Amino acid sequence: MDPLITGNVEIATQKAVSSGRWRAIFGSICLLSAVTRLYDLRSPPWVAWDETHFGKMANWYINRTFFFDVHPPLGKILIAGAGYATGYNGSFPFTKPGEQFNETSFVGMRALCATMGASIVPMAFITVDDLTGSVTAATLGSLLLALDVGITTISRFILLDPILMFFMAATTMFNFKFNKYRSFSGRWWLTLSLTGLSLGCVLSVKFVGVFVLAVVGLYTVTDLWSIFCDYTQPLTHTVKHFLARALCLIAIPAATYLMVYCIHDALILQVGDQHGFQGDSWLSAGSQMQLKNSDMYKLKQPQSDLAYGSLVTLQTIGSHSSFLHSHNLSYPAWDFENTTDTASTLNMSEIYSVTGFRLKDVNNFWKIVPHDEEDIPDWENPYLPPEPVLNGDTIRLIHNGTGRTLSAFTERAVKTSTQQLVGTLPQKKTKEFQTAFVLNAAGLPDEAQIEAINTTFRLYNPYLKCALYVCEEKLPDWAAQQLEVTCSKRLTDDGVFWSAHRNIHPGMPNVTKYWRRFHSTLLQRFVETHRIITTVNGKLKPNRVAMLHADKPWMWPILYRGQYFSMVDSQRVYLLGTAPIWWANLALLLLSGLIMMYIGYRAARGEHGPDAQTPERQRDAAWRRRTGLACLWLVFAWAVHYAPFWTMGRILYFHHYFPALCYSCMLSGVVLDFLLTSLYRKLPAMVRAGVYHWLVAAIVAGLFYSFYLFAPLCYGMTGPRPREDANSTYHAIWWLGSWDI
C-alpha cells in the first residue's frame, strides 16, 4: 500500500479514537453531574432557605398577580413555568423555612434548577477543552465542579443561583467557542449569536450577571484589536467584525432583556392582597391602571383637572413612592436646640404628624383650598362652575380625616435634622407662612391647568424656601413606623415631586372616554420599574448588627464557614463545599500566577539553540502560550466575579461566591494539566505514561472520595451535631470549628 495512504489511514484512526474517547468522557461527566444533582429531589420535603421567596414569586406568576422585586424576572419566570408545567397550581403559601410541602407538586421547580445546575458541568468541560485543547484539563476541571457538594447543594433547591450560573457558563462557553470557526460562516454566526442570547439571559436573572459581561467585553475588545492589527486584511474587514459583534453582543442581549420584561409585564395582570413592595401602591397611577382589581383600574367616573374643593390623594414618584398621609397621632415633646427659630415655643402635642404611607388608606385624602379664600369667591358653592387649580397657584391642603391644615415650620425635623418639620394644625392656630404652598409643575407654562395623574409638581413654600418632601427615614412607633415628611431645600430629589391620584369633585365632569390616555406604555413601565430597582438597590442599608454577623468576602475562598439551607433536625442541609477541592482551588489559583509568569518569561526569552525551530519545540511553545492564555482568562473571570464584593456595603452571603468558584474549578483543571504534562515531558520515556495515568487516577479517586465524605452536607444530616456530641457521625468532616454542621 502507498505509504501516503497508510499515513492518512493512521491519522484518521487516531482522530476517530480521540473523538470516541472525548465522547465517552464527556458522556460520563454529564451522567455524573445529572445523578448528583437530580438524586432524591423530594428530600427535604419542606421549604428550605430562600425557597420561601422564589416559591412565592412563582405563585404570583402562576396566579397572574403583580409583585415587585429587585431582581430581573427571567429566573422567576422559568421557575414558575416549570411548576405550572408539572402540575403546581400556585397555592402553596411558602410562608417560612421548614414548612412541609405535603401533597404539593414542588419537585418540578427543584428539577428545573437541578437540571440547569447539572448543565454547568458539561459546559465547563467544553469551555476548558476549547481554551486548552486538553481533554485531561477539561476532565479535571469539570470533575472539580461535579464533585463539589456546595455547587451540588445550591443546584437542588428553588433558587436563582443555578439558573444564573447556567447562563453564565453558557455565555462563557459560546464566547470562547465562536472563534474556532471560520469568520462569518454559519457556525460562527450561530455561536456568536448564542453568546449574545446567553448574555441577555444572564442579565435577565440577576444584575450580577454584568460581571460576565466584563469578560465578554474584554475578550471582544482584544479580539477586535488583533483583527485591526492584521495588516493583511483591509479596514473593511475590521468594520464587518465590529458590526457583527455590535449586532450579536449588544443588540441581541438588549432585545433579549426587553423581551423577558415584556413577558413579565404580560404575566402580571392583577393586584392581589400583598402589601408594601409586593403591592401596587409604589407604582405611578398610569401603571396602576393596567392592573385589574387596582383602585385606579376600577375607577368608574374619573376626573381629570384639579379644582378648588377637590378631594385628592397625593403620591410621590420613584422609590420614595408614598402617599401624603396624616392621622390623629401627635409629635412627642422635642428639643429644638438646633432650629432656625431659636425662640421657638412650639407645642408639639398640638401638631399631628404627617407621614409618607406606602399603602392606600382613607387618611391619604386632602382637600385643595385657596390659600386666600377671598381670591376665589364661593369656591364651595356647588351651583357655580368649579374653579380650576392652575400652575403657580398658592394653595392650602386640609386633611380630610382630621380637618387640620398642612403646615411647615422653621423647626428642624425629628429624624432628618437638616430639613424642616411638617405637621398639621387647626386652621385658627396656623400662620400664613406655614400653610402657603405654591404648586410648581415642571414643564408647564404658568396658569396651565393641573391634571390628576398626568402632571408632576412640587409643593413649594415660598416663605421657608423649601418643598414638601418624603424621606427614606422611618419615624418611631409613635408614628407607626411610617416615613418622615419634611420641608426640604433639595428641590431636585425624587421625594419632592408629587402627582394627584384620586381626584373627587362633585362639580367636575367625568372623562371616562379620555381616561385611556393616562395609561402608561410598556416602555414607560419598563423605565419606571428600573428606576425604582436602581434606587432601591442603592439604598439597601443593613443595620450595623446585621453587618457584624454577615459574611466577609475573605471567608469564602478558604471555606471559613457555610450557611444552613435546612435546620430541621431530622434532615439538616448545610451549604459548605468539598473542602479539599476548595483549598486545592486556592493553592492552584496562587500557583497559576507563577505559571503565567514562567510562560511569559519563556515567550519573551524566545527559543534558542540549534533545534529551536523544530516542530516539537514549536508545539511546546504553542502549548505554553495556549495554557497561559487559558489561565489569564479564567483568572480574570474569577476576579471579576469575586473582587466587586469587597466594595459592596450590603449584607453578603456565602452563596455569592459560587459563580466565581465555577471559574476557579476550571482554572484548577488547566493548572493541574500543565503540571502533569510538564512532569510527563521530564520523565524518562519508559515510565512517563504510567506515572501520568497513575497521578490522574489518584486525583480522580481523591475527588470521588472527598465527595463521598462530604455528601451528607448536601443530601441531609441526621443525629447529633459534632459540636454537641463527641460520638457524632459527622466528626470526620468537622475540620474547622467555624463550621456549624
Question: Averaged over 102-125, what is the pLDDT?
Answer: 97
Beta strands 352-357 and 437-441, pairing class: unpaired
Question: Averaged over 9-38, what is the pLDDT?
Answer: 81
Percent of the chain with pLDDT over 90: 62
pLDDT at 560 over 80: yes
Which residues are CB-neighbours of 737 under 8 A, at least 6 positions away?
A: none
Q: What is the 3-state secondary structure (H, E, C) of 290-350?
A: CCECCHHHHCCCCCCECECCCEEEEEECHHHCCEEEEEEEECCCCCCCCCCCCCCCCCHHH
**Cα–Cα distance for residue pair 471/486, rounded to 1 Å:** 7
Name which residue leads in pLDDT, 67 or 290: 67
For 316-355, what is each residue's pLDDT tens digit? 876 567 899 998 888 887 655 444 443 456 777 889 999 9
SS3 of residue 86 by DSSP = coil
pLDDT score recorded for residue 430: 86
**Cα–Cα distance for residue pair 162/154, rounded to 1 Å:** 7
Beta strands 483-488 and 466-474, pairing class: antiparallel
pLDDT at 139 over 60: yes
Question: Averaged over 580-593, what is the pLDDT?
Answer: 97
For 716-729, what is each residue's pLDDT tens digit? 999 889 888 888 88
Which residues are CB-neighbours of 553 under 8 A, at least 6 positions away?
A: 642, 645, 646, 652, 657
Task: Scan for cell 476549547, then name that residue.
Answer: 130
Question: Averaged over 683-705, what is the pLDDT?
Answer: 94
pLDDT score recorded for residue 409: 93
pLDDT at 1 over 50: no
pLDDT at 142 over 90: yes
Closest to 71 (Cα-Cα) out of 244, 210, 203? 203
SS3 of residue 214 by DSSP = helix
In angstroms, the first-to-last Cα distance of the chain is 68
**Across 43-57, 332-346, 512-526, least confident range:** 332-346
Task: Scan for cell 421548614, then name that residue.
Answer: 98
Question: Averaged over 658-683, what is the pLDDT?
Answer: 96
pLDDT at 700 over 60: yes
pLDDT score recorded for residue 487: 95
| CB-based contact 368:395 (threshold 8 Å) | yes
Sorting pLDDT into bands at 50, 70 and 90, what band is 511?
Answer: low
pLDDT at 570 over 90: no
pTM summary value: 0.88
Segment of 208-217, 275-284, 430-439 carrying the highest mean pLDDT: 208-217
Q: Any idea where the domains of the chain sit in the sequence?
A: 3-159+554-733, 160-262, 299-509+520-530
pLDDT score recorded for residue 277: 44
| CB-based contact 429:404 (threshold 8 Å) | no
For 389-446, what is each residue's pLDDT tens digit? 999 999 999 999 999 999 999 988 988 888 999 999 998 888 888 999 999 998 888 8
pLDDT at 58 over 90: yes
For 347-390, what is each residue's pLDDT tens digit? 778 899 999 998 888 999 999 998 876 555 555 666 667 888 99
pLDDT score recorded for residue 557: 97
**Across 169-183, 243-257, 450-464, least confident range:** 450-464
Question: Averaged over 142-166, what is the pLDDT?
Answer: 98
CATH 2.160.10.10 fits 299-509+520-530, yes or no: no
CA separation, residue 510 to residues 304, 397, 504, 507 (Å): 7, 23, 10, 9
pLDDT score recorded for residue 503: 86
Mean pLDDT across the chain: 88
pLDDT score recorded for residue 178: 92
Which residues are CB-neighbours of 66 under 8 A, at least 6 positions away?
A: 60, 268, 269, 270, 271, 272, 279, 280, 291
pLDDT at 71 over 80: yes
pLDDT at 257 over 50: yes
CA separation, residue 527 to residues 151, 344, 454 (Å): 35, 45, 16
**Across 190-194, 239-243, 272-276, 414-418, least confident range:** 272-276
